[in-house]
Amino acid sequence: MVDKEANFKDIFQKNSRKIYHLCYGYTGDEDSANDLMQETFMKVWQNLDKFRNQALISTWIYRIAVNTCLSYLRVEKRHPKDELTTSIIENKPEELSDKNDQVASLYKCISQLEENERILITMVLDEVPYPEIAQISGISDGNLRVKIHRIKQKLTELYNRNERF
């Protein structure tokens, strides 16, 4: 049991930041992102014995996180809340720096992407290697590069459109 706890602690330390960013990309809300990250790691803990080392553990955790986020979004669509990203932008403290404003604006734009686009771009932002992203998403390397290029173009357009207002 001690080995499992030490292993889990190491896994959490290495992956929690990336999983938080992934969850935040889906929700646009810090509290929901934290909840989803915790739910993801609860599932990791519960299923750690079942991990077969056929892929990188980070790939396995991303899949769990993506499925957890998609389940959350399905429930949210049945019980819609106010636009989360709008409330984040409107309720942030005035003392935030320009960089924080840009990051918030970027995440607002990411939240406007389709679900599969959000997954891919969040992994790119978290510097997940392309081969690992391809494995997680089930997309070939070449097709992945094309998709990411198009997502970046779409994000640039969304960002520029939002900056005008």
Confidence band for 2, pLDDT divided at 50, 70 and 90: low
* Closest-CA residue to 64 (of 120, 19, 127): 19
pLDDT at 78 over 60: no
pLDDT > 90 in the chain, percent:
27
Q: pLDDT tens for residues 132-147?
A: 888 878 889 899 999 9
What pLDDT score was predicted for residue 136? 79
What pLDDT score was predicted for residue 85? 44
pLDDT at 118 over 90: no
Confidence band for 52, pLDDT divided at 50, 70 and 90: confident
| Mean pLDDT along residues 8-14 | 93
What pLDDT score was predicted for residue 89? 43
Q: Which residue type is seen at 18?
A: K
CA–CA dist 15, 12 (Å, integer) = 5
Q: Which residue type is seen at 33?
A: A
Q: Count CA atoms closer than 13 A to 135's CA, side-chain side.
A: 14
Q: pLDDT tens for residues 16-25?
A: 998 998 888 7
pLDDT at 131 over 80: yes
What pLDDT score was predicted for residue 11? 93
pLDDT at 40 over 90: yes
